[in-house]
């Protein structure tokens, strides 16, 4: 069984971990210092994950697209947010929405719910690393 997780780790540990991520995974490395608004964050995600439409004006659309990803040919997903202490430091409510969204919806979806809710859905590794 795959266990999708969100982990806080140090920069050196992350650099070692990046070396072990399979090449057929989509790995996104984001700088939390540069992501201070929902618009900045959602644009970075939709660009890296090639969302079919924008989700700047809709957290629900973001949640739908990030739990779909059928247009990508990745066997797993890794999101790394460097400088996590600075990530959304002026928008703590949005930061909580994003982090809780991963914990409550996105990671569990890819860990097993995807098979129950979609006819061709496959359990897929999806991990988030919060780096300071």
Give the pLDDT confidence of 91-125 residue by residue, as tens digits: 999 999 999 999 999 999 999 999 888 877 899 99
Q: Is the dihedral of CA 87, 88, 94, 96 positive or negative?
A: positive
CB under 8 A, 24+ apart: contacts of 113-117: 114/67
Task: Give domain limits for the chain.
Answer: 6-131
pLDDT number for residue 41 = 98
pLDDT digits (tens, 9 = 90+) for 37-77: 999 999 999 999 999 999 999 999 999 999 999 999 899 99
**What's the CATH number for 6-131?**
3.30.370.10
SS3 call for 86: coil
Q: What predicted TM-score, i.e. pTM, was given to this entire model? A: 0.94
3-state helix, strand, coil in the chain (%, to 5): 45, 20, 40
């Amino acid at each position: 069984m795959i266990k999708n997780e969100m982990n806080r780790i140090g920069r050196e540990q992350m650099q070692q971990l990046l070396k072990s991520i399979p090449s057929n995974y989509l790995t996104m490395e984001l700088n939390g210092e540069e992501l201070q608004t929902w618009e900045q964050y959602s644009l970075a995600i939709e660009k890296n994950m090639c969302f079919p439409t924008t989700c700047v004006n809709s957290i629900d659309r973001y949640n739908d697209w990030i739990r779909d990803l059928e247009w990508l040919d990745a066997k797993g997903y890794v999101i790394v947010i460097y400088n996590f202490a600075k990530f959304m430091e002026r928008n703590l409510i949005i930061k909580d929405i994003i982090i809780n969204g991963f914990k409550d919806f996105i990671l569990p979806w890819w860990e097993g719910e995807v098979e129950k809710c979609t006819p061709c859905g496959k359990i897929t590794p999806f991990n988030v690393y919060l780096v300071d």
